[in-house]
């Protein structure tokens, strides 16, 4: 089979009445079976064709994670159209730039974004407008299934460090990603999965797993109403769950909300030891697995907490970085000397214990961006193959496990040597809710987010003595990304320090 729609068709024949998607609005629960989802997607595909959308056209999708999103997505896939996702929170100029580059022929949007269409120049030029699709009776769109190399999805980077890059995923790519994910997160047909990660839902649909969509605004996982999600979990009894660390930080605050899960997978942002220990304490019979990946390569590596030994915990808490585990079988990983920001000139792999830049290649690794924008800094040819430069620093241990050291671009090099802030932030996570290390005016400054009760500064300083920190400052808020509520915005931190004046 060459595409998710073809697998869905086969799964519909195998499990027509099995729930494919389940969602909630307060105490009320709703569902679509595999046959109902397939029928609704076919009906929407027929609507798209009737209105003039064709294979190869692009459709801008502004629909939150919901049943409507997956009906729309599968309908677009069915006719060979490409779904384009742009984060509305990135701003109007970002939307306009993305529309200018892609010239989408259709907009599928919820009501608020349909209302703003006349006022956004990029959206005004989109000729076709569709409401989010709903459950529909059986239909047949009369179109051929997409070819393996037809583009299926386009997503954009934020563009915070330059022109936004468009990541294009073909149907062949999505199939390869499904195989890698199904293996890495141990998907088993018949399971019920509470998942906040959209790509995991596609893998679930392809694996015969029921996806429970959280009763929450998952675009901001660090601010969800954990009580509503916990009530949903109690009613629907999912056996597994996948989400970002920020999502589980919130959910862990509700006693008993995690005890029903047999498997818990978390990733999309750093999974620090403090969170793993908290989750393990609240749900001791649950298999806890952290997954390392990126937009361009998901998954890269994973590790079960049962495989983390006492010496590993000690190493993470004392500057060793974050243990990501062994790479998945479907990917190859290289660690080369850290040359981030410059062309790779030395391609000799580093030995265990040496820190360098992580590069990956495989069938589910993005080989290039749309129109080549961004390829010059993130793609490199080695021995005739295209490798992706993750921008992450890492090291191997003697067991062939990957340890993350943080972003190459955040590396501090001064008279005291080289230090990756991430290693300090990982170690500090057992004392503070969030921290960020920066170099400012020649000083190593650790900013910690204010919390109650405040941390013991003497204990913190002693635990981090190896990092030779000059100052520890408390700030009201450390700026992070909106998507996962975890990625430190170091450029914004530099501006914050400048506003604070003399240190």
- 416-500 carries CATH number 3.30.70.870: no
Strand partners, 446: 437, 472
Q: From 18, 25, 1, select the one nearest 211 (Cα to Cα).
A: 18
Q: Is the dihedral of CA 184, 189, 195, 201 positive or negative?
A: positive
CA distances from 227 to 26, 180, 238, 283, 436 (A): 11, 33, 16, 17, 29
Give pLDDT, residue 101: 92
Where do we find the tokens 């954009």? 156
Strand partners, 59: 83, 106
Strands laid side by side in the 166-170 sheet? 128-130, 106-109, 58-62, 82-85, 151-156, 166-170
CA distance 376 to 372: 8
Which H helix or E strand runs over 465? none
Give pLDDT, residue 483: 67
Fold agreement between 4-16+27-172 and 416-500: no
Q: Are 379 and 362 in contact (CB under 8 A)?
A: no
DSSP letter (8 states) at residue 312: H
Give pLDDT, residue 157: 72
Give pLDDT, residue 229: 96
CA distance 376 to 398: 33
pLDDT digits (tens, 9 = 90+) for 320-369: 999 999 999 999 999 999 999 899 988 899 999 999 999 999 999 999 99
CA distance 41 to 59: 15
**Residues above pLDDT 70, as percent of the chain:** 98
Q: Are 266 and 291 in contact (CB under 8 A)?
A: yes
DSSP letter (8 states) at residue 408: G
Give pLDDT, residue 502: 53
Q: From 170, 172, 175, select the one nearest 154 (Cα to Cα).
A: 170
The 3-state DSSP class for residue 67 equals helix
Q: Is the dihedral of CA 466, 467, 469, 473 positive or negative?
A: negative
Where do we find the tokens 């806890």? 288
How crowded is residue 345: how many other Cβ atoms within 10 Å of its Cβ?
8
The 3-state DSSP class for residue 15 equals coil
Q: From 201, 174, 167, 169, select the one nearest 373 (Cα to Cα).
A: 167
Enter the CATH code of domain 4-16+27-172: 3.40.50.980
Name the packing angle between helices 67-79 and 198-207 (round to 10°): 70
CA distance 447 to 433: 11
The 3-state DSSP class for residue 158 equals coil
Query: pLDDT of the chain along its 503 residues, tens only?
Result: 789 999 999 999 999 999 999 999 989 999 999 999 999 999 999 999 999 999 999 999 999 999 999 999 999 999 999 999 988 877 888 899 999 999 999 999 998 888 888 889 999 999 999 999 998 887 788 888 999 999 999 998 755 555 778 999 999 999 999 999 999 999 999 999 999 988 899 999 999 999 999 999 888 888 899 999 999 999 999 999 999 999 999 999 999 899 889 999 999 899 999 999 999 998 999 999 999 999 899 999 999 999 999 999 999 999 999 999 999 999 999 999 999 989 998 889 999 999 999 999 999 999 999 999 899 999 999 989 999 999 999 999 999 999 999 999 999 999 999 999 999 999 999 999 999 999 998 999 999 998 888 888 899 999 999 999 999 999 999 988 766 677 888 888 888 888 876 55
Which H helix or E strand runs over 274? helix 273-282
Give Cβ neighbours of residue 51 (< 8 Å, ≥ 6 apart). 106, 128, 130
Q: Is the dihedral of CA 134, 135, 137, 141 positive or negative?
A: positive
CB crowding 397-411: b at 16 or more within 10 Å, else e: eeeebbbbbbbbebb
Q: Collect contacts of 345-349 with beta carbons under 8 A, ≥24 apart.
A: 347/382
Q: Are 51 and 130 in contact (CB under 8 A)?
A: yes
Give pLDDT, residue 156: 84
Give pLDDT, residue 162: 58
Residue ranges of the domains in the chain? 4-16+27-172, 416-500
Q: From 284, 280, 302, select the one nearest 293 (Cα to Cα).
A: 302
Give pLDDT, residue 213: 97
Give pLDDT, residue 501: 64
CB crowding 434-468: b at 16 or more within 10 Å, else e: bbbbbbbeeebbbbbeeeeeebeeeebeebbeebe
Where do we find the tokens 């040496």? 354
Q: Are 229 and 214 in contact (CB under 8 A)?
A: yes
Pairing of strands 240-243, 263-267: parallel
């Amino acid at each position: 089979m060459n595409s998710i729609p073809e697998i869905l068709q086969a799964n519909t024949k195998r499990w027509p009445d099995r729930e494919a998607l389940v969602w909630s609005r307060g105490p009320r629960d709703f569902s679509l079976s595999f046959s109902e989802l397939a029928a609704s997607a076919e009906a929407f595909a027929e609507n798209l064709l009737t209105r003039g959308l064709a294979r190869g056209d692009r459709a801008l999708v502004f629909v939150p994670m919901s049943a409507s999103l997956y009906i729309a997505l599968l309908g677009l896939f069915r006719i060979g159209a490409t779904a384009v996702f742009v984060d509305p929170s990135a701003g109007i100029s970002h939307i306009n730039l993305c529309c200018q580059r892609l010239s989408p022929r259709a907009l599928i949007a919820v009501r608020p974004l349909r209302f703003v269409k006349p006022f956004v120049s990029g959206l005004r030029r989109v000729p076709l407008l569709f409401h989010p699709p709903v459950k529909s009776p059986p239909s047949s769109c009369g179109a051929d299934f997409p070819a393996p190399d037809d583009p299926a999805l386009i997503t954009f980077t934020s563009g915070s460090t330059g022109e936004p890059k468009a990541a294009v995923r073909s149907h062949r790519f999505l199939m390869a990603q499904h195989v890698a994910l199904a293996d890495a997160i141990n998907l088993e047909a018949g399971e019920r999965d509470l998942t906040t990660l959209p790509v995991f839902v596609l893998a679930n649909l392809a694996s015969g797993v029921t996806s429970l969509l959280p009763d929450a605004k998952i675009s901001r996982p660090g601010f969800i109403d954990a009580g509503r999600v916990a009530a949903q979990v109690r009613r629907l009894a999912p056996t597994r769950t996948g989400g970002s660390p920020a999502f589980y930080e919130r959910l862990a605050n509700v006693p008993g909300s995690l005890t029903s899960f047999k498997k818990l997978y978390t990733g999309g942002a750093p999974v620090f030891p403090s969170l793993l220990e908290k989750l393990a304490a609240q749900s001791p019979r649950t298999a806890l697995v952290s997954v390392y990946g990126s937009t361009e390569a998901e998954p890269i590596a994973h590790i079960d907490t049962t495989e983390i030994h006492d010496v590993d915990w000690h190493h993470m808490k004392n500057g060793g970085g974050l243990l990501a585990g062994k790479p998945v079988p479907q990917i190859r990983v290289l660690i080369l000397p850290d040359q981030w920001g410059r062309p790779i000139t030395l391609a000799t792999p580093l030995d265990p214990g040496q820190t360098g830049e992580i590069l990956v290649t495989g069938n589910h690794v993005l080989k290039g961006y749309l129109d080549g924008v961004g390829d010059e800094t993130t793609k490199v040819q080695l021995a005739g193959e295209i490798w992706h430069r993750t921008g992450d620093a890492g090291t191997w241990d003697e067991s062939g496990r990957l340890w993350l050291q943080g972003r190459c671009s955040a590396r501090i090099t001064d008279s005291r040597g080289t230090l990756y802030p991430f290693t300090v932030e990982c170690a500090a996570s057992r004392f503070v809710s969030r921290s960020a290390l920066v170099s400012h005016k020649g000083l190593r400054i650790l900013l910690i987010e204010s919390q109650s009760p405040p941390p013991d500064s003497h204990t913190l300083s002693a635990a981090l003595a190896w990092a030779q920190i000059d100052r520890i400052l408390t700030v009201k808020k450390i700026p992070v990304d909106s998507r996962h509520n975890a990625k430190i915005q170091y450029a914004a931190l530099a501006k914050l320090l400048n506003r604070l004046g003399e240190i």
